[in-house]
Chain A
């Protein structure tokens, strides 16, 4: 998929590009609003990652412009301003999602993927994890035909690890994704450990879970083929 990164902070733009390339995206970078405006007009992008705080352009105007010109790109706003009205305005103008800086790269990826799934109506019906089977539509987990009862948070946690399978996720990245709506300073690494512990306990009652790994000193990973 084609992604345009509109970000005036060059090293951040390059870092995002490097990450997305490793995830097999084709990346273009625009450091200014003018440049971005031109690139959007000429090229076909699936995604535009748009920083609203551009020195030469009101980022929101870019969305407006692109929509008027019939661009089918999905916009994901990334901004350090994080003001409520920016978010509302951006989403009203047709942006598909909104991320406040600083964000986790894997969070960006999962947002892009979520938008892509909506856009292309791709639905993953079932995911197999060892002896377990995840039904994404009904948000249920089964083991050899038996349902494993999970709380909403536990399911979300597992689902996020599965979405980013084979990647180590730090406790903070997991916390941010699941409790990100809480305006809280009290990020507690213990939070995730407790939930993983509970999750493991429930799963292990049905079958062993060698695919749910603890990476010492870093975080957790779901390893599947």
Chain B
């Protein structure tokens, strides 16, 4: 991917180079045309001089009548020449051409003006020539100078172009910058970006409107979740009280009691489900405060102690290796407790008897890490993918829970900017990684 301003600069550069190349192709021709015109004018002027000279002094000083003599005059560098001869042709000459002449054994290209005229009934042919060698050199020099000049211009304009596009594209950079690193539309910076470019202004406005819309939709969805949850909890409450009252009656048959307890269990599952949804909705709409300040290792130790009777009963060892500790600030302790508890509890459940769970905490690359690994059943790739999704049941893994515990852990982690990842291998075990945000 290439940045827009680089693209613009490349386009500018290429188009300039193309125009320059085109110009350079035609340049020799143009210079030649201009030069030739200049030379031609010179030649015509010279002809006029010769003609007026002849008119003044007559033809005799140059050429004797009836002789086959030719008058010729060269300047010493063979730059120019004038020749006069008499001719018999009927034709009139008055044209300019390029011819090669051999003068003193040297081939020189000349621009030659041929002109015929009559003096006392005798026709003469006048040739005025000018060497094109100097013109060639001139053309090359001019071309070189122009080439250097153009390249310089291109370089300078490239730099100014870059600078200018950078300047006018700055609002766009700001707009894309606002989009970077926001995990939720509610975090979008709603202050308008200062710009005099209408397109950017529109883009910024459109984005803001879009974010507002999404935000309000999200908000509505969360409200609906919360409202539905409340509506569901009331009937659950009624049912629960009724069943509990029945269970407390002394005249209830033991078999009936068992059935009532089964119904209560089912009801608890429903209750747990609704409460979990509520919890996630609350976390995601930032209804929990983050003002606790506590040691993460202490939380881990507490959880390990809490779960050790269950682990011991299953003959699972919980090994704790706390290399370093983090005093976590601006956090919600009960939520963090739940986040870690769910994962460790999950590990205890999914590790067969005689297994091992290792809890570690340490710093790596300036960030605090907690890893929880077990040598339990492990998970397939498919199961890993669905791990943090709500209600994607992980059949055979979790008999008691509703399959939402890890989704809760994930939303708590997101709420605290903690990154969670899992690696797992079927039959070998699973490791959860919690990487805490850098301490600023």
Contacts and interface: CB of A to CB of B under 8 A. Distances in A.
Given A172-B265, A183-B335, A190-B310, A80 B237 contact: yes
B261 interface: yes
B345 A186 contact: yes
A15 B313 contact: no
B334 interface: yes
Interface string B256-273: 011011101101100111
Given A102-B240, A181-B334, A84 B289 contact: yes
Contacts of B398: 186
A121 to B, nearest CB: 29
A27 to B, nearest CB: 13
A25 interface: no
Contact of A187 (B244, B268, B288, B408): B268
A122 to B, nearest CB: 24
Contacts of A211: none
Contacts of B234: 9, 12, 80, 101
Nearest to B313: A194
Contacts of A173: 244
A106 B346 CA distance: 29
Interface in B286-323: 287-289, 306, 309-310, 313
B404 A185 contact: yes
A102 B245 contact: no
B115 interface: no
A102 B309 contact: no
A188 B248 CA distance: 23
A173 B265 CA distance: 10
A144 interface: no
A188 B400 contact: yes
Contact of A194 (B237, B241, B254, B310): B310
Interface stretch (B43-51, B131-139, B336-344): B336-344
B405 interface: yes
A185 B265 CA distance: 13
A184 B345 contact: yes
A105 B237 CA distance: 10
A69 to B, nearest CB: 29
A106 B257 CA distance: 16
A57 interface: no
Contact of B240 (A18, A104, A167, A183): A104
B155 to A, nearest CB: 64
A106 B248 CA distance: 10
Interface string A117-158: 000000000000000000000000000000000010100000
A48 to B, nearest CB: 18
Contacts, number: 138
B248 A105 contact: yes
Contact of A15 (B242, B261, B309): B242
A184 B405 contact: yes
A186 to B, nearest CB: 4
Contacts of A191: 310
A96 B306 CA distance: 28
Contacts of A182: 337-338, 341
A197 interface: yes
A155 to B, nearest CB: 13
B248 A102 contact: no
A195 interface: yes
B172 to A, nearest CB: 41
A185 B310 contact: no
B346 A186 contact: yes
B288 A84 contact: yes
Given A12-B238, A218-B261, A172 B244 contact: no
Nearest to A51: B234
B287 A102 contact: no
B276 interface: yes
Given A172-B268, A183-B335, A187-B268, A167 B309 contact: no
Of listed B234, B335, B342, B402, residue having the most chain A CB within 10 A: B234
Nearest to A18: B245
A184 B407 CA distance: 11
Contact of B309 (A16, A106, A195): A195
B236 A102 contact: yes
Contacts of B435: none
B241 A19 contact: yes
A218 B247 contact: yes
B126 interface: no
B111 interface: no
B400 A189 contact: yes
B25 to A, nearest CB: 77
A81 interface: yes
A24 interface: no
A210 B405 CA distance: 38
A183 B404 contact: no
B230 interface: yes
A81 B282 CA distance: 11
A166 to B, nearest CB: 9
A-B CB proximity, top 7 nearest: A217-B258, A102-B237, A15-B241, A80-B233, A183-B338, A186-B401, A101-B237
30 contacts: A12-B234, A15-B238, A15-B245, A80-B234, A83-B282, A101-B234, A103-B240, A105-B244, A106-B244, A153-B306, A170-B247, A173-B244, A181-B334, A183-B279, A183-B334, A184-B345, A185-B401, A185-B402, A186-B400, A187-B268, A188-B400, A190-B400, A195-B309, A215-B257, A216-B254, A217-B254, A217-B261, A218-B254, A218-B260, A219-B261
